[in-house]
Amino acid sequence: MERSILRLPYILAKYSVYQNPRKLTVAGTGIRISSNYYQSSSTNAEISKDGTKVKKKRMNPSSSNVSHVDRSIQDENSSLKRVRDVNTRKLPESFSELLDKYSKPKLFYNFDKSQTDFDESQMNKLGISREKDHILDFLNSQGDFVNAKSTDIDIIQENKRECRVESFNYSLAAYISVCMYSGFYESAYETFNYYRNLKMVNSEGLNLLPFNEVLKGIACQGDLIRMKEVMISLEESSLKPDYNTIAYCLTCLGRNENTPEVVDEIKNILKLMDQNEITLNEIIGNACFPGDSFHHCLLAIERVIPDARNKLETVNSTMDYVLKESSYNHELVNNLNKSLFTNQVGSRAEGAVPFDKLPELIQEQIDNELKGIIQIPKLNAEENASNIEKDKKLWEEWNEEWRKNLQEALNKYRAFMSNAFYDPELGHLSYFPYFNVLSDEDVIDVILDEIKMFCKMPHDWGSYSTAALYLGQNFYDCFVKRNREKKQTILRNVYEKYCYSTLYPSNPGASYIPRVEWNKILTKENYTMNWNDCPLEWPYTIKLKIGYMLFNFIFDNVKIWRHGEKPKDSIPGFVTSYENHSHIFKPLHHLRRVFKSSARNTYNVKVDKFPMLSPPVPWTNANNGGYTIAKSELVSFFTTDYSNQIKKVEEMYPMLDSLNFLGSVPWKVNCDMLDTIIKVFKNDGWTEVGVCPSPKSLPDPPEIFSSMTSEEEDEALQYKYELGRVYKIWFETDKNLSILNYFRDKIIWFPYHFDFRSRIHPISSHMNHMEYPDLIRSTLCFAQGKKLGKDGLTWIKLVAAVESGCPEDYISHLPIHQDGSCNVLQHFAALGRDVEGAAYVNLSPSKTPRDIYSRIVELVEAKRQEDARNGNEIARQLEGLITRKALKQSILIRIYGGTKTGACRSILRGVKELNSFTETLRMEALEYLDENTYNIFTKEFESFLKIRDWLRKIAKGISQRCFKGMEFETPIGFPVIQPYTMEKRPFTQQEDVIAPFDLLSSLLPDVQKQRRSFSPNFIQSLEASHMMLTSLYCQEAGITFVEIHDCYWTHAATVSIMNKICREQFVRLHSQPILENFAKSMIEKYSSHPNFEDVYTTFSTEDATPASLKDLLNKIPQKGEFNLKEVLRSDFFFS
């Protein structure tokens, strides 16, 4: 099936060579492409609509001249007029059916206009007919229901139906948006008009999103008649307009002449605005205006309200308005509003780069993002370059031939599809508008860049469908980049002013908060409306289809040959095979070898995985932030669910400001440290300090002979495995050091984003302070130094400072870390107000630091000694083997929801002596250690067990009885959505898939993963909330702050300030009724669910007593007597 999908563009191109297609029409559910042709007597077997085989006459191409078709489709109307004047006949039935099957999304079949509801056959086409089977599989997998209901299937189907409607609306809106972008105005409008009249399941119509997208296109055209038609339809649909709806109507009217009729329409729109309690400031400040739409919108308003421009706060950028629009509305951070507009706090990046060099750095950053890939010279470049130059020449010859072949194939494909594109009078959707958003040059660049990425992989790419989705995603990212490139004038103007205000603050009215300062500059320049206009995310099925189509171009046009051969001797460079029940995609070994040889002295790295040479663009909403041109995701696991959750951006202000604050900190490479590490690395490494030795210095693995004993064979295999691991570490170290060497003497910034738990990570995965090994991390330091001051020497022991004669004046760039003392358990103890638990994890003050892990090891060892005295042989064998290092990781695995198997594996890695035990004894020893460790831990830390079990029970109840994954809001307001599902998003276009949705809520949850993961995810979201609060108050205090989850970094001179803020914000966070608020939100969300009071087995550690979700949510774990304010006096809380 997938191979058939891939062949479609090839077939399209083939037919475009032999025939001159003139018109595509749609009849019923089929497609007919008209063309001149001759019939021959040869026949071809074909499947008819009723499933029987019939004989069809094969068509041969006409001998007449085929006219040239201009592939540029700027004016769709003239193109359609041209093809309508030609006599047409239909193409072969087989080709029509193939095109009908593979050229449009599964959601968008061309239904008969006489129908207003989906019938059985159309439901089958959507893959809904087998939905019931998937639901039954899910219900049968849950064998512990106490009161399973026959209505469960209906409940699940209703949820899926709602998701289908939502997904349909989003997909249709994305399609309309792309049609408008590609110039297919008529097609976009007629498609909208068709589906507006087609009622979906249970007679539900379209939501507001498609209406707004089509109005945006109508506004750009100034089509007053169609604007009226859409607004009448909107009124009939009982939908309420929003500020975008009003803005696009006014824009459309502003493009028309100033006649009494137009003025009356403007008054009607303003009246509609008042009826829906929408203000002009909301429209101007929040609507998304493409191009020059804002000017025309304002022109329409001024025709009725002549002095509107002077009254609009959004246009005049008054301080009161910006303050009102930028301020927080959350009790944990509201007291920060008083200092939003002040430059007394100072900038963490002030003077980080020379004043006159800033424009050059900004342009270099933008140019790098437009290029997409940076070539990094390798640290260990090979001196013998004869073979390299030979392979580099062959690679260049290949690329030249690939570009030529791909250009020809694209010409044929676009020429065919431009004329085969459907009649706009009929409502049918095609993939062609999506494909048409990029130029041929961009498409070829995407393909060739991905070929490089595939070739540099150390292993086969894997799933063919996954590779196609990845390629389609990069196609979409290129589209976003080109869309942003159109705003480069706006971006360059605002971005440069923002960078200067950040690096050289001088305006007394400037804000120290990047988001506020950015918005203030945007508003002052009247660019807010253009900046807010972003393309809709494409459904993943579209990206998948685009990927398949691009792969077809790769298979047919990317050919390779050997040295000395000619292109006529070429063979395909990529192949697919069927392995492990899936299609595997991989480049031929010769292709991969030549690429690696030609690029042997360089690393090709994507810019969107790299640090920036200028400050990141502040996050102001879910679409804008991070890199300047390249696409950045606010949430690394971003789906339509998040776009639905993040509706009111003002509720995200504290979280966005935390991202922006972390991203505003400049870094640099410690060149002295880097040079030292490089010197050791080039001299065969030094294992003791973490520098990997060169694999070339190690002996080759021994050959394995049949005469070897099993022990000798195991040793040989183990050495081979370790040698492979050394190779991997060495090459990774070489790459990391090469990247660091590339950035020596440069100032860099890391853009940040969230994961689904709300934890913050750098987007630049190829170089950062968080995910690099300690060896590489040691080379990074703050770009801006700070004097040690009075307390600096307490936190840093620096010889240079002592020798300087005045240690307080020594300027230090070194980050000082403060770690939470088992931060997960600190949050559990605070939630449960557990006195003993708080003492174990240093929430309460003490003279010396306490260690929960050492305490557990003492108790496990005492239990072992007791068991040994009582004759337990396993306990005797374990004498001297129980250490903190051996058991710490297994405790953490259990805390974070890991399994017993995972904990045992961790113990085995920590107690290597167990490998000498017999297999039976080893398994018994592992079980003994894990069971005793876990039992003692849960007994000592009672609050952990109670709260964890309560959270797990709720997660199980919601996922098993309400058929939903866990979704909740953190104390600071971030929407967390657990992505664990039993169903997977379909990667094929077979008829039995459920439907192409990008909504997690449409997929049945994996109950066990939802249950097991909820407790650690809930606590990690509290960790993130604590970190964000700490960062915001450190920002107000004017000190540098960065983090690695529960490890906080700052300058030596400001550690005391950070420690104080860290403790205060932990107390403020846990002074909130966190568990109570969570339970209340779950009751509000699920109390109306039919299964809310169903009794189910909870699988509790304490007991397995059946309970209902209602009972659990109303039975919050009892709390202890710990006083949270004790944390303020604890020296070792973070230390």
**Helix extents (H) in 743-785:** 774-777
In this prediction, residues 348-370 reach a mean pLDDT of 87
Query: Using 50, 70 and 90 to split pLDDT, how confident is the model at 131?
Result: low
992 is catalytic: no
| Residue 997: count of CB within 10 angstroms of its CB | 26
Cβ(830)–Cβ(1114) under 8 Å?
Answer: no
Q: What pLDDT score does 145 carry?
A: 46
Crossing angle of the two packed helices 152-182 and 208-221, in degrees rounded to 10: 10
* Domains in the chain: boundaries: 154-315, 668-746+770-813, 835-940
Query: Using 50, 70 and 90 to split pLDDT, how confident is the model at 443?
Result: very high
Question: Which among 123, 8, 122, 126 has a CA at the least distance from the CA of 991?
Answer: 126
835-940 falls under which CATH superfamily? 5' to 3' exonuclease, C-terminal subdomain (1.10.150.20)
Catalytically annotated residue among 477, 641, 998, 1046 = 1046
Cβ(611)–Cβ(783) under 8 Å?
Answer: no
Query: Using 50, 70 and 90 to split pLDDT, how confident is the model at 21?
Result: very low
In this structure, of 142-151, 878-887, 971-980, 1054-1063, the range with the lowest mean pLDDT score is 142-151
Identify the residue with better confidence: 524 or 48: 524
819 is catalytic: yes
Query: Using 50, 70 and 90 to split pLDDT, how confident is the model at 65?
Result: very low
Q: What pLDDT score does 422 carry?
A: 52
Q: What pLDDT score does 264 carry?
A: 93
Query: Using 50, 70 and 90 to split pLDDT, how confident is the model at 442?
Result: very high
Q: Where are the beta strands (DSSP E) in 19-66?
A: 21-27, 30-35, 37-47, 53-61
Catalytically annotated residue among 112, 133, 809, 819 = 819
Identify the residue with better confidence: 695 or 434: 434
Query: Using 50, 70 and 90 to split pLDDT, how confident is the model at 780?
Result: very high
Identify the residue with better confidence: 850 or 702: 850
Q: Where are the beta strands (DSSP E) in 434-474?
A: 462-463
Q: Which residues of 244-269 are buried (b: 16+ CB within 10 A; e: fewer)?
A: bbbbbbbbbbbbbeeeeebeebbeeb
Q: Does pTM surpass 0.95?
A: no
Residue holding tokens 């790295």?
605
Catalytically annotated residue among 106, 631, 668, 888 = 888
pLDDT digits (tens, 9 = 90+) for 796-831: 764 344 445 677 788 889 899 898 888 989 999 999
In this prediction, residues 478-495 reach a mean pLDDT of 84
Cβ(800)–Cβ(806) under 8 Å?
Answer: no
In this prediction, residues 1077-1094 reach a mean pLDDT of 89
pLDDT digits (tens, 9 = 90+) for 586-643: 888 888 888 888 887 888 888 888 899 999 999 988 888 999 988 888 888 655 555 5
* pLDDT exceeds cutoff 90 at 1028: yes
Cβ(998)–Cβ(539) under 8 Å?
Answer: yes
* pLDDT exceeds cutoff 60 at 1119: yes
Query: Using 50, 70 and 90 to split pLDDT, how confident is the model at 350?
Result: confident
809 is catalytic: no
Supply 617's token pair: 């663009």
pLDDT digits (tens, 9 = 90+) for 922-940: 888 888 888 888 888 888 8
DSSP state for residue 816 in the 8-state scheme: E
In this structure, of 19-33, 341-355, 742-756, the range with the lowest mean pLDDT score is 19-33
Cα-based distances in Å from 820 to 326, 842, 1044, 1045, 1119: 32, 9, 11, 10, 22
Q: What pLDDT score does 60 carry?
A: 36
Cβ(1010)–Cβ(978) under 8 Å?
Answer: yes
Q: What pLDDT score does 1045 carry?
A: 87
Q: Does domain 154-315 have CATH number 3.40.50?
A: no
**Mean of all residue pLDDT scores within the chain:** 78
**Integer Cα distance of 389 and 459 in angstroms:** 25
Residue holding tokens 């691009």?
550
Q: Which residues of 541-573 are buried (b: 16+ CB within 10 A; e: fewer)?
A: bbbbbbbbbbbbbbbbbbbbbeeeeeeeebeeb
Q: What pLDDT score does 1068 carry?
A: 95
* pLDDT exceeds cutoff 60 at 105: no
Cβ(332)–Cβ(1072) under 8 Å?
Answer: yes
pLDDT digits (tens, 9 = 90+) for 827-868: 999 999 999 889 989 999 998 888 888 888 888 888 889 888
In this structure, of 772-776, 989-993, 1016-1020, 1037-1041, the range with the lowest mean pLDDT score is 989-993
Best-predicted range by mean pLDDT among 203-212, 884-893, 947-956?
947-956
Q: What pLDDT score does 528 carry?
A: 63
Identify the residue with better confidence: 767 or 741: 741
pLDDT digits (tens, 9 = 90+) for 224-239: 999 999 999 999 888 9
In this prediction, residues 946-967 reach a mean pLDDT of 89
* pLDDT exceeds cutoff 70 at 210: yes
